[in-house]
Structure 1
Amino acid sequence: MHTTAIPPVISSEPGLPLRPAGHVMDPVRLGSMHQTRLSFARSLIRQMARERWGIECQEFRLDAGGCGRAIYTVRTPEDRFSFVIFSQSLDESERSDRVIADQWDVACALCTGDLDAATLDELAENVPRQEAGRCSSRVLVLTRGNRSQRNFELVTDALARGRQPDPLWFQKVGYLYRTTAVYGNGKFGIADYDYVRRWRLFDRPFSPQMLAVWLLRHFSLEQVEHMARARAPDTAVSMHRDLARYVGMGNSTGLGMAPFLVHHPQLINQWVLMRETALARVRRFGVANVAGLERLLALVSRARRHVSEWWTDDPCQLEANARTADDLSDLQAWLGRQTPVPGDLCERVIRRAEAQYGVQTQELVNSLLLELHPELVDALEDTMGSDERSDLEPAMPLHTLVAHMENAYDWALAVDFGHPDANHYFWYRSEEKEEPRLGVRGVDPGADREMPLGIARDVRRCYDACRVLLAEDPQATVLELVLQRRDLRGIVRRVQTLAPLSYGEIRGNLLDRGCRPIHLLRCKLAFFGASKFDPRSDRWVRITLFQGAPLLDELHASADPDWFLPVAPDPA
């Protein structure tokens, strides 16, 4: 493919065909997203490969049962970090992914610099306690994980007997460990966001968290091989490289992640804007040729197999996957008929997908097209962050605020809050763990602790109050409104801040009976770089990260590793 060089941007580029916010920010579409080249896991791997980071195991002191301590050092062109893992023996009855758990198979910390004996003692005291402990600002990320016990035992036993694990095991469950939390941004005494950003390499969103997860994935492979050798030193073998690469890291995510998209609208706007800018660049500047068509055909073929290996019990996800497989078959056949190759191939593919394919397929096709044009896409990864600031403008004429709501929040004003279904749910924080929960209004307790996630309802209240005040005084300002209605200050500030931003708001009522929080979870996880979404209900999901990613000693093999949509290796 040949393209025109385009500089990176922070805001939208004039003339690019960005998709409308009402289309992109629909909850169902957000809940159909896939990882892209701009996803944080993909971006981190490219950065490590390009800058030739050096990662070494400094200490690996585990007993035969895999318990003990391991330390990895990370050398970047500018700094040095340490990743310490504390592994313990955990009774099956104590293993839980729920946030109320207080015991895990491993607890880990990503720290600045090398770790002396005194620091290690302090970490050993506090890291395994997670929320109950307190760490210093030398800790950038705090995380923990549990084994996929069935997979872990099957793999240990196979390697100990001198056999390779069955790849089917990792199609069903694509990991040996899953994280149950990855903390950053100042929780429990660790470094806050502004402190972490002092390091250039961590200036991209969630970069240190992704590094911690990738390192834990590597530890899981070393640990299972160590335990196999301890069990049967005469017969044990190492895992085949292709299979080891297919092993990812799991994650179990519930409602705790959902409010993030509402609480950080400027950041979400930037994430979506850069993704949409990348897609618009491909539509406008991508020029197809035979080599590009062959590459796209190969990606579509890989995507079909990837979807066929995507295991889930969720009926909605099963239906979406079956539709996607059929759609990809049709696309593959259609692409095979594109001779000679049309110059606007990418645009034609997008139009065909929008006209004939399911929403999940449409978003997958967009991700595939971005793979064809790294020179148009990758520079945008440095503009995924946002300095979030929200200031009230009291002098704004009230009729201007009304115009903002009518233009940018028409979707909210269209909701009929006179219907009981529109106010069915409420979001609140549990007393037990201060984690978000979803309750049924009038049925469940907790409404007195409701979180401000009903943006559509709040906009309607604000709009109605504005109309009343303007009827009394057409020259009224925002100051007069907020002096009368202190309860509206937050939503006024939000509207003033977000009205100019296309992608800051989820275009749906999160209080409605039809709300499915799983859409919010999947959206954020797709930006992280997740795959193999396996909803366990409409409120929590299991996913896989870094499946197919380069192994530790493969980082320098390519500056742009090709591990998008991994497929299982053939059985040995």
Structure 2
Amino acid sequence: MKDLLDPPPPQTDLRHPAQVMRPERLGAMMPTRLSFLRVLTRQLSAEGARLTRPVWQIDAQGHGHAVYTIPLGGRPYSLVAVSCHLPDAMRTDRVIATAWDAGFVLYDGVPDAAEIARLCAAAPRQEAARFTERDLVLSRANKSVRLFTHVVDRLRAGAQPDPARIAEVGYLMRTTAVYGNGKFGIADRGVIAGRPGIGGAFAAEMLTVWLIRCFTHDLVEHLGGAALEPALKRHLGIGNATGLGMAPFLVSHPVLLNNWMLARETALARVRAIGSLSETERDRLRALARRAAQHLEAWQVPDPDAAARIARLRADWPQVLDWLDALPERRPLDTLVRRGEHHSPDLQELLVALVLEPFGALVDPLAAQMVEPPGAQPALFGDAVELRQAIAEQFGWAVEIDFDAPGAQQLFWYVSEEKREPRLGLRDTEPGAERESPLDIARRVKALWQALDGVQDLAAFRQAHPHHELAIRRVQMAVFHPFSEIRGNLIGAGCRPVDMLRCKLALFGATGFDPKSDRWTRVTLAQGAPLPEELGSPRADDWWLEVLQA
């Protein structure tokens, strides 16, 4: 009851959604202490969770199955991992794959022998198999063959792997999918939504990723016959190859997107309102800024555009160290953030992540707000004038888009029949536009705006034009949830889905963004995250932009 009665900490004004929700800024986001993996490992640490491995049936070739169990929120959850032989010719990260090096299921509880047998048969087949409500998350992964082989060979030779090789790749396996929320017959979100711990934003998926990482560590140690040094093991996260399948989520879950972004922006506003800093806090910020500089040095990607952005950020970042040495006594972090506003979105967003990091007491409670509350939105708009006013206030950016301009409607989103995965087509040259997914929010709201011109009776208008209902609902949501909309034309020629991917992956806690095109990227998850035996230790929540110290 005390928490409900305590006033919230002071804060400055939030950054405006017009600044925050532009695609190019979402595409510059960095992980923060509110990222879902960080929230998960803090929760595990706070609960004193201990990981057990009740089953390890892996042969000398690394094939077989294992079960890992850990309590979270007062309940046990288990990862069933199945490692398979995969010919090199079949190893692909593309969604068309039908076989993988390993398949995984996060199970609700502790599976008995019959359930383990069921999952050992089903996990390697992924969406081709049948699953039950006890199965919470479905995932699969492929080896990073060169690094995996290098680590095993070095351990067998009685040596440790080359730190430079580990730093270059950063993971032993990369997931090509982590499915939750009822996909392919697994448990619906409602099964776990109200549970402590696992009911948090993407907590089940992040727990799965963290446990898969534990399995990859154990697998190379099993094959190599020796233990990895903790510093090297800690730097081995889980790779992830993410494409268009992830992008529409941010559009189809506007309230959730709002809550994620609002929590982050509120955290920033709280930190900016800090009146003064102790010398210890100033030293901590300097140390974190130096760590960020080391992280930028290690962040190497082949894509020329991404490499140029990183190079510019790398060159500009030393200014932040200078700023930290000259902070004023009053509201120092507000001054720091304001100085960053004259630089690139990449620097600004890294600066946001930096200033949040030392202030867990102000920031961490906001994680509880990063879920979508149940219930419908209250009714709005008694007449067309009110609706048009709301459009002008919340969607003025959409009204300004000229959808008759060349390329303004070049793309359309759809779901492939074969894989049930989102795709992006060219409207004028590819079939399927008649089955377009409703991600064209800006176009729909502008059409609504134009159709309302001269309308007096809103109820009659809605009855006569039901195709405008989606746009009306989005305007209504934006009134209550100002960070709910990506403020860009998602069907225009300039749309870069990779910006949407970066936003969501940063919220997960990903690092090492390595775009392979404007439609898919590779990242690393859980790099630097605590090892199972480190949960509850001082370093368990000190892994922002981890740098290999070997």
Q: TM-score, normalised by structure 1?
A: 0.92
What is the aligned partner in structure 1 of residue 499 from structure 2? 519
User: 5+ unaligned residues in a row in structure 1: which ranges?
Assistant: 1-5, 230-236
Instruction: Measure, in 1, the Cα distance between the counterparts of 2:130 and 2:418.
Output: 19
Q: Aligned match of 1:17 in 9, 13, 31?
A: 13
Structure 2 vs 1, CA of residues 388 and 34 (structure 1 numbering), >3 Å: closer, same or farther? Answer: farther
Given the superposition, is the C-alpha separation of residues 244 and 345 from structure 1 closer, same or farther in structure 2, using an over 3 Å criterion?
Answer: same
Letter paired with 1:310: W
In structure 1, what is the Cα distance between the partners aligned to 2:183 and 2:485?
26
Q: Distance in 2 between matches of 1:83 and 1:380?
A: 28
- The corresponding residue for 1:383 is 369
**Does 2:346 align with 1:350?**
no
How does 1:44-63 map onto structure 2 within 5 Å? 44-63=40-59
Aligned residues: 548
Helix, strand or coil at the partner of 1:499: helix
Paired with 1:218 and 1:48, the residues of 2 have a C-alpha distance of 14
**How many angstroms apart in 1 are the aligned matches of 2:436 and 2:303?**
29
Give the residue type in structure 2 aligned to 1:218. C
Cα pair 1:269 1:503 within 8 Å, conserved: yes
Give the distance between the partners of 1:496 and 1:389, measured in 2 at CA.
14
| Alpha-carbon shift at residue 14 of structure 1 (Å) | 8.8
Contact 1:12 1:273 in 2 (8 A): no
SS of equivalent residue, structure 2 residue 56: strand
Native 8 Å contact 2:103 2:139 kept in 1: yes
By how many angstroms is 1:335 displaced?
2.4
Q: Does structure 1 retain, via aligned residues, the 8 Å contact 2:73–2:197?
A: no
The structural deviation recorded for 1:286 is 5.0
User: Hey, what's the Cα distance between the residues in 2 that align with 1:77 and 1:416?
Assistant: 50
Question: Does 1:528 pair with 2:500?
Answer: no
Stretches of structure 2 lacking an aligned partner (at least 5 in a row):
none
RMSD of aligned C-alpha atoms?
A: 2.0
Equivalent position of 1:232 in the other structure: none
Q: Does 1:403 align with 2:389?
A: yes
Could you give the per-residue CA deviations for residues 474-495 of structure 1, whole angstroms, max 9, x where no partner exists? 3x12x21222212112111221
Query: Offset of 1:101 from its aligned partner?
Result: 1.0
Q: What is the match of residue 307 of structure 2?
A: 318
| Inter-partner Cα distance in structure 2 for 1:349 and 1:403 | 36
In 1, Cα distance between equivalents of 2:15 and 2:498: 23
Shift of 1:420: 2.1
Aligned residue runs from structure 1 range 305-454, under 5 A = 305-338=294-327, 342-355=329-342, 357-387=343-373, 393=379, 396-454=382-440
Provide the residue aligned with 1:542 in structure 2. 522
Alignment correspondent of 1:233: none
Of 194, 206, 217, 1:221 maps to 217
Conserved? CA contact 1:50–1:559, under 8 Å? no
- 3-state SS in 1 of match to 2:13: coil
Match of 1:507 in 2: 487
SS in structure 2 of the partner of residue 421 of structure 1? coil
Whether contact under 8 Å (2:241, 2:521) holds in the other structure is yes
Asked if 2 retains the 8 angstrom alpha-carbon contact of 1:267 and 1:388, the reply is no
Give the conservation status (yes or no) of the 8 Å contact 1:266–1:388.
no
Please report how far the alpha carbon of residue 59 of structure 1 lies from its aligned counterpart in structure 2 after TM superposition.
Answer: 1.2
Partner of 1:273: 262
CA distance, structure 2, for counterparts of residue 259 and residue 411 of structure 1: 20
Judging changes above 3 Å, is the alpha-carbon distance between structure 1 residues 315 and 12 closer, same or farther for their aligned structure 2 residues? Answer: farther
Query: Cα offset for 1:143?
Result: 1.0
> Is the CA contact 1:54–1:76 (under 8 Å) kept in the aligned structure 2?
no
Shift of 1:559: 8.0
Q: Is the 8 A contact 1:56 1:74 kept in 2?
A: yes
TM-score (norm 2): 0.96
1:153 pairs, out of 149, 156, 170, with 149
Instruction: Please identify, of 114-123 and 66-75, the stretch whose mean Cα deviation from structure 2 is larger.
Output: 114-123
The answer for the alignment partner of 1:70 in structure 2 is 66
Query: What is the CA–CA distance in structure 2 between the aligned matches of 1:393 and 1:197, rounded to whole Å?
Result: 26
Q: Is the 8 A contact 1:110 1:142 kept in 2?
A: yes
Separation (CA, whole Å) in 2 of partners of 1:178 and 1:441: 33
Residue identity over aligned pairs, in percent, reads 43
- Separation in 1, partners of 2:102, 2:262: 37
Contact 1:27 1:519 in 2 (8 A): yes
For 2:491, the aligned partner's letter is L
Residue of structure 2 in register with 1:42 after alignment: 38
Structure-2 change in CA distance of 1:392 and 1:372 (3 Å): closer
Q: Which of 279, 282, 288 is 2:271 aligned to?
A: 282
* d(CA) in 1 for partners of 2:84, 2:415: 31
Structure-1 separation of matches of 2:252 and 2:90: 33
Question: Residues 124-167 of structure 1: CA distance to partner in whole angstroms, max 9, x if unpaired?
Answer: 22222111111111111111111111111111111111221112
**1:389 offset after TM fit, Å?**
5.1
CA–CA distance in structure 2, aligned partners of residues 440 and 385 of structure 1: 34
Structure 1 residues 388 and 498, CA, compared in 2 at 3 Å: closer, same or farther?
farther
Relative to structure 1, the CA distance from residue 394 to residue 23 in structure 2 (aligned partners, 3 Å threshold; closer, same or farther) is closer
Equivalent residue number for residue 263 of structure 1: 252
Matches of 1:8 and 1:409 in 2, distance apart? 34
CA distance in 2, matches of 1:38, 1:257: 20
Runs of 4+ in 1 over 3 A off after TM superposition: 6-9, 11-16, 388-395
- Counterparts in 2 of 1:12 and 1:542: CA distance versus 1, 3 Å: farther
Q: 1:395 to 1:480 in 2, by over 3 A?
A: farther
- Residue type at the aligned position of 1:354: E
